[in-house]
Structures are given as structure tokens and as C-alpha cells.
Amino acid sequence: MTTTPATPAGDGELLARLTETDQATQERLHARLAAAAERAGILDVAYRTLDTPVGPLLLAATERGLVRVAYAREDHDKVLQQLAGSLSPRLLRAPARLENATRQIEEYFTGRRNLFDLPLDLCLAHGFRRTVLTHLSEIGYGATASYAAVAAAAGSPKAVRAVGTACATNPLPVIVPCHRVVRSDGTLGQYVGGTDAKKVLLALEATP
């Protein structure tokens, strides 16, 4: 067996003239694929990114609802890879499914919305962490609660650290308001989006 190149010199050069791709066509075909996949019911995860005052957010939704919101510091490529592994690799950039979520988040950041009304898919949170997340929406816009208070509300007053973990692994930050959970001594505490992002969100909600 020889590995002699099959290509007489120059052949590749001739065809190389055809290797340019036009971006507009690729974009159009991609949008067409996303729409067709949605119609065919095989678009398991749709995502887009959105620029916000706390940096670019990745939004991802299953057919059941918004399933993931990720900060840039979480590394969007890594998050997509994780979603492909834990949910489905049939994952495409498809903003259409996220239109409603996008609009509501934009309204939130411009102070025109203090309650999200979106179908959520909590399938990435399990057990006690999921219980904690369901209690977070009880903390109203502009208010805060301590980790201990959330633990008590979730029915396990001693599980303060577990509440911290639930907040740190919240798959839907901003929407499920873990940023409203602060330490009992009044200091901010950690945040999945970084403490600066937590400050921005709390300041936004404190603005009348």
C-alpha cells in the first residue's frame, strides 16, 4: 500500500476556487434547518445568546420550557457540551423558541418587568436542590432572604449549606431568583454569575 497523493499537482488548486463559502447562504440554511427540525419534533434543545447588563447570557429551552440560563463565566461552549450530554446532542442555535424568554428578560433588565411568566423545565435540578429552587420564586422582586430562611421554607431548617449549593448550581439564574438569597449578616454571599452580577441585579430591583 502506498500513500502517494492521488492529486496531480494543481488539481486541488483548481478546485480550491470553490472552497469559499458565502456567510449569508450558510445563515439562511441554518435558520431553515432549525425551523424544519422544530417542525419535525427533533429539536431537543434550542439555544441563543443575549447581551445583558450582566454580560452575555446563554438561554436554552427544551420543548417543555426554558431549561438553562448561563453566565459567560460558566463558559457557554462548556455549558452547551454539558447540555448535549445530559439532555440531548440534538441541539441547535434556534432563537425562535426563545422569543418569549428573550423579550421578558429584556423587559426585566429595563425595569419594566418584575415577574417572569415562562414555562420552565427544571429537569436539570434534582431532589432537595429542586425543592429549594421552587421556593426561591416566593422571594419577591426587590426583596431578599437569608440562606437559613430559604432552608426553613424548604422544610429543612438545618440544610443551610445545601441551600447554598442549590443556589450555586441553579440552572436558571436570573429567572429563578437565587440572587435574592443573601447571608444572615447582610453580606452578599456567593453567586453563580459572580458577586458583581449579584450586585447589579439587586441594585436593579432596588430601583423604584
Partner 1 sequence: MRQHPFETIVAEHGPAVLRVCRAVLGPTTAAEDAWSETFLSAMQAYPTLRADSNIEAWLVTIAHRKAIDQLRAEKRRAVPTEHLPETPAKDGVPGEGEPELWKALHALPLKQRQTIAYHYLAGLPYAEVAHVLGGSPQAARRAAADGIAKLRKSYLEGEDR
Give catalytic residue positions: 178
Contact stretch for partner 1 (CB under 8 A) within 26-34, 107-115, 118-126, 178-186: 26-34
Minimum CB distance to partner 1 smaller for 12 or for 155: 12
Strands 45-52 and 145-146: unpaired
Q: Is residue 24 a contact residue for partner 1 (CB under 8 A)?
A: yes
Q: Is residue 114 a contact residue for partner 1 (CB under 8 A)?
A: no
Chain centroid, CA 114 distance in Å: 19
119 to 37, 138, 152: CA distances (angstroms): 21, 17, 26
Positions 80 through 99 that interact with partner 1 (CB under 8 A): 80-81, 83-85, 88-93
Q: Are 176 and 55 in contact (CB under 8 A)?
A: no
Q: Is residue 33 a contact residue for partner 1 (CB under 8 A)?
A: yes
Q: All 3 cell numbers of residue 95? A: 432563537
Contact stretch for partner 1 (CB under 8 A) within 11-19, 66-74, 126-134, 155-163: 11-19
Least Å distance between CB 90 and partner 1? 5
In the chain, the amino acid numbered 122 is L
Cα separation, 164 vs 46, whole angstroms? 29
Read out DSSP for 34-58? Answer: HHHHHHHT---EEEEEEEETTEEEE
Chain centroid, CA 19 distance in Å: 35
Q: Is residue 26 a contact residue for partner 1 (CB under 8 A)?
A: yes
Among 4, 20, 158, 187, binds partner 1 (CB under 8 A): 20
Q: How many CB atoms lie within 10 A of CB 35?
A: 13
Minimum CB distance to partner 1 smaller for 38 or for 106: 38
Q: Is residue 21 a contact residue for partner 1 (CB under 8 A)?
A: yes
Residues of this chain that bind partner 1 (CB under 8 A)? 6-8, 11-12, 14-15, 17-30, 32-33, 36-37, 40, 42, 45, 47, 80-81, 83-85, 88-93
